Amino acid sequence: MKFGGILLVLLFLFPVILRGINIEQNSLEENVKESNKYFPDPDNSRYYYISERIENVFSSIIKYFLHLYDRTFNKIFIEKAFYFSEIKNTYIYRLNFVKNEIDTFFEINKKKWGKFSLINNRYFENLLKVNFNRNEINLYKNNLSLLDREYSELMKLVSGIPITLRFKDFNTKLIQKRMNSGQLIIKYTVLKENVFIFYITNKSIGYVKLKVRYNQIFKKIKDLAEPLDDFKSGNVDYLRINYNLNIANYLYNVLLRQLLKNHKNVEEIFIIPEKELFKLPFEALVTGFSDKDLDPEIIFSEYESVNYLIQKYAISYYFSLFDVQKSFKEKYRKKYIVTAFGNPIIEDRLREKSESMLINFKYFNKIPSSRREILDIKRIFVEKGCKIFLDKEFNKRNFETYAPESKIVHIATHFVNNIDFPKYSALLFSSRDNNTPFYYIHEISKLKLNSELIVLSACESLEKDILGLNGLSSMSFSFKNSGVKSVIVSMWPVDEFSSRLVPLFYENYKRVKKFSLALRDAKLRLMKKNIKFRNNIKISLSHPFIWSNYILYNFYF
């Protein structure tokens, strides 16, 4: 009777058990189908098609609201145009970011994906057996869960970026209330081939349509930066780098002249670039030429006879107008004014075995200017307000312990810019216990720094080649995610000349307590300096590629 009862129960439950197996199997099959959707297009055709469609749709919406504004001068229409220009970029950022992360995901994890598929197939095969081994099934399930957790980390990162921003959260009145009479916000928006400039002051809001088409502006920006790109490739001697003053003057006339002429009381400009405009050093745009005589004995003296935008305005940048609405709140009192890290040391054992790695550590030489920077900071702030970490002390453990205790965090090191897979761009720290010394973007994003400023004194830490559409995966943005208020980054390689800006900046900051003003004054001081170069040749530091290298990005107002 007892046995018969059990048999009856089993017969009753058997269809349920089978259905449960089928449900679980179908669920896994659905997961596989869903994951296949994320495989990138071989030729990126779908991505480019969607990207172009988004651009076209939002361009039409923005132009429609600008048309209504022109006819009625109703402020609500210009605000709508402003709002949809932000939404356009948010969608494009999202699309590019997802594409980039998925590309990275499958490129870096091909072996894991193969392992996942293998285990998944074996799991299915065992489920279909009449007499399957429950322990083996559980083992496969545990392995699948482990792999799934690894993959879900990436998907959470992707899904964590907002795809939409609500209009009710877009408050131009709040922005204007926070601004003073000497401040001007300029937002560039590219709609198909046209460039529009939206602007806000504490009393007005409006826009200007540029007469020059975007492809012409882009070509000029490319021509302006080309000599430095040659220098990076080792094709040109430093003393032969040319900054085309006529192009810089042309770009000023096209992008800013009329707007600034209409706002004569402006002292500080906040710029929100788009696309290739991220590559433009706005502070080095030429507003006019003076009659100052050239000194043939001094190299680069021709750059002294020029008026630059920075000489009249303090300039800093934002990624988005939504950032201007946010105010920074320090969560707790900081122990140090500045914590500075520099001059990383790579262990010999790691250098020797690095030949088999993707990145060869032998290419990372010592950075003499890095050590000087850190010691200068210590001199300026003295022991009480400053903590420094040099050589082997510049490691991840010290960074994670002391950086959150500081108002300003200064990092002088090598930067590895992974343009193809930006998530794996990294800062070089000293190797410790034979561990990989890279601090990757995705690791920095998880920190809780809540600092007022990060200074990245590392070559091309702005990552201007991946900004614009891919900006959400940049090193700058990883620090934004860690709760930082602002970052100072470099547009080009940092050398012994441009690094001289660092002590000038900190000396000014002690005096004025405002980052944008301190950086501007440092640039003005640097461009007036002459120094002796090799063979007693005198060189003027007025060359824009020297003094305009470092720029300030804000994440809060």
Reported confidence tier of residue 234, pLDDT bands at 50, 70, 90: low
Pairing of strands 453-457, 406-412: parallel
| Residue 22, pLDDT score | 43
Distance of CA 349 to the CA centre of its chain: 33
Torsional class of 442: left (φ above 0), alpha (ψ -120 to 50), beta (otherwise): alpha
Range name among 131-140, 306-315, 319-328, 396-405 with the lowest pLDDT average = 131-140
- The model's pTM is 0.79
Does the domain formed by 329-554 have CATH 2.40.128?
Answer: no
423 versus 189: the higher-pLDDT residue is 189
| Residue 4, pLDDT score | 39
Query: Could you report the per-residue pLDDT of 369-379, keeping only the tens digit for each?
Result: 788 899 999 99
% pLDDT > 90, the chain: 35
Overall residue count recorded for the chain in this entry: 557
Q: Dihedral (C-alpha) 263, 522, 534, 243: value to the nearest 10 degrees?
A: -20
Query: How does DSSP assign 279-348, residue by residue?
Result: G--GGG-EEEE--PPP-TTEETGGGGGEEEGGGT-EEEEES-HHHHH-----SS--SEEEEEEE-----H
Say how far apart CA 414 and CA 501 lie, in whole Å. 18
| Residue 490, pLDDT score | 86
| Residue 14, pLDDT score | 36
Residue 414: other Cβ atoms inside 10 A:
21
- Write down the H helix ranges in 382-473: 396-402, 441-444
- As given in the structure block, the two tokens for residue 293 are 């005589």
- Over 80: is that where the pLDDT of 152 sits? no
Domain ranges of the chain: 15-159, 169-322, 329-554
Say how far apart CA 235 and CA 227 lie, in whole Å. 9
272 versus 536: the higher-pLDDT residue is 272
DSSP assigned state of 356: G
Query: Could you report the per-residue pLDDT of 47-85, keeping only the tens digit for each?
Result: 566 667 777 878 888 898 999 999 999 999 999 898 888
